[in-house]
Structure 1
Amino acid sequence: MAVLCRRNMAYLYLVLSFLLCSGFGFAELEKFEQSINGDGSLSFLVIGDWGRRGEFNQSEVALQMGSVGEKLGINFVVSTGDNFYDDGLSGEDDPAFEESFSKIYTAQSLQKQWYSGNFPLHYPYLITKLAEIFFIDTTPFVKMYFTNEEGHTYDWRGVKSRKPYTANLLKDLEVALRESSAKWKIVIGHHAIRSIGHHGDTEELINRVLPLLKTYNVDFYMNGHDHCLEHFSDKESPIQFLTSGAGSKAWRGDVKEKNRDGLQFFYDGQGFMSVELNRSEAKIVFYDVFGEVLHKWSTKKELHSSI
Structure 2
Amino acid sequence: MTSMHRLSLPSVLLLFLPACAPALSGPAVSLPDVTAPLTMPGPEHLRVVVMGDQGTGTDVQRRVAAAMQEVCAREGCDLGVGLGDNFYPAGPREVGSPLFQTRFEDVYGPLNLPFLMVAGNHDESGLFGGDGTDARGAETQVAYAKVNPRWVMPARTYRAPVTAGTGEALAEFFVVDTTPLAAYLPGRRVNEWPGGPWDAAQRTWLANALRGSGARWKLVLGHHPLFSNGKHGDAGQYDGLPFAFQRGDAVRDLYRVACGYADAVLSGHDHALEVFAPQPECPGTWAMVSGAAGKAEGARTGTRPAATEIHGQPGFLWLHLTPHTLNVRVYTVAADGTARLAGTHHITTREGSR
Aligned partner of residue 288 in structure 1, secondary structure: strand
- Bigger Rg over Cα: 2
Among 82, 85, 90, the alignment partner of 1:82 is 85
C-alpha change, 1:115 and 1:210, in structure 2 (3 Å) is: closer
Q: Distance in 1 between matches of 2:307 and 2:324?
A: 25
The answer for the alignment partner of 1:196 in structure 2 is 229
The verdict on how the C-alpha distance between 1:262 and 1:255 changes in structure 2, with shifts beyond 3 A counting, is closer
Q: Secondary structure at the residue paired with 1:144?
A: coil
Task: Tell me which of 212, 216, 228 is aligned to 2:257.
Answer: 212
The 3 A distance-change label for structure 1 pair 60 and 165 is: same
SS, match of residue 170 in structure 1: helix
Matched residue of 1:130: which SS? strand
CA distance in 1, matches of 2:71, 2:156: 31
Alignment check: 8 A CA contact 1:42 1:278 kept: yes
Aligned ranges 1:289-304 → 2 under 5 Å = 289=333, 290-301=338-349
Equivalent residue, structure 2, for 1:124: 159
Aligned-residue RMSD, C-alpha = 2.3
TM-score by length of 1: 0.79
How many residues of Structure 1 are paired with residues of Structure 2 in the alignment?
A: 263
Distance in 2 separating the partners of 1:254 and 1:56: 21
Task: Give how far 1:209 is off.
Answer: 2.3
- Kindly provide the amino acid, as one letter, of the partner of residue 124 in structure 1: R
Alpha carbons of structure 1 residues 172 and 271: separation in structure 2 relative to 1, 3 Å: same
Letter in 1 for 2:86: N
Equivalent residue for 1:138, pick from 156, 178, 183? 178
3-state SS in 2 of match to 1:60? helix
For 2:5, the equivalent position in structure 1 comes to none
Counterpart in the other structure of 1:58: 61
Q: Is this contact kept in 2: 1:121–1:169, CA < 8 A?
A: no
Distance 1:51 1:139 in 2: 16
Corresponding residue for residue 13 of structure 2? none
Q: Which runs of 5+ in 2 are unaligned?
A: 1-30, 120-137, 139-154, 164-168, 237-248
- Are residues 1:115 and 2:116 paired? yes
User: Distance between the aligned counterparts of 1:38 and 1:52, measured in 2?
Assistant: 33
**Can you list the C-alpha shifts for 1:69-114, whole angstroms capped at 9, x where unaligned?**
222321111000000111111422322222222222243xx21111
- Distance 1:83-1:223 versus aligned 2 partners, 3 A rule: same
Say if 1:239 and 1:205 are closer, same or farther in 2 by CA, change over 3 A: farther
Alignment partner of 1:41 is 2:45: yes
- CA pair 124-90 structure 1, distance change in 2 beyond 3 A: closer
Name 2:329's counterpart in structure 1.
Answer: 285
Q: TM-score, normalised by structure 2?
A: 0.69
- Report the Cα distance in structure 2 between the residues aligned to 1:168 and 1:90, rounded to whole angstroms: 26
Tell me, in whole angstroms, the C-alpha distance in 2 between the residues paired with 1:208 and 1:90. Answer: 30
Which runs of structure 2 are paired with 1:94-243 in the superposition (5 Å)? 94-107=97-110, 110-118=111-119, 121-128=156-163, 129-142=169-182, 144-145=184-185, 147=186, 156-157=188-189, 159=191, 161-162=193-194, 163-203=196-236, 204=249, 207-216=252-261, 218-236=262-280, 237-243=283-289
Consecutive unaligned residues of structure 1, counting only runs of 5 or more, are: 1-26, 149-155, 303-307
Alignment of 1:32 onto 2:36 = yes
Equivalent in the alignment of 1:11:
none
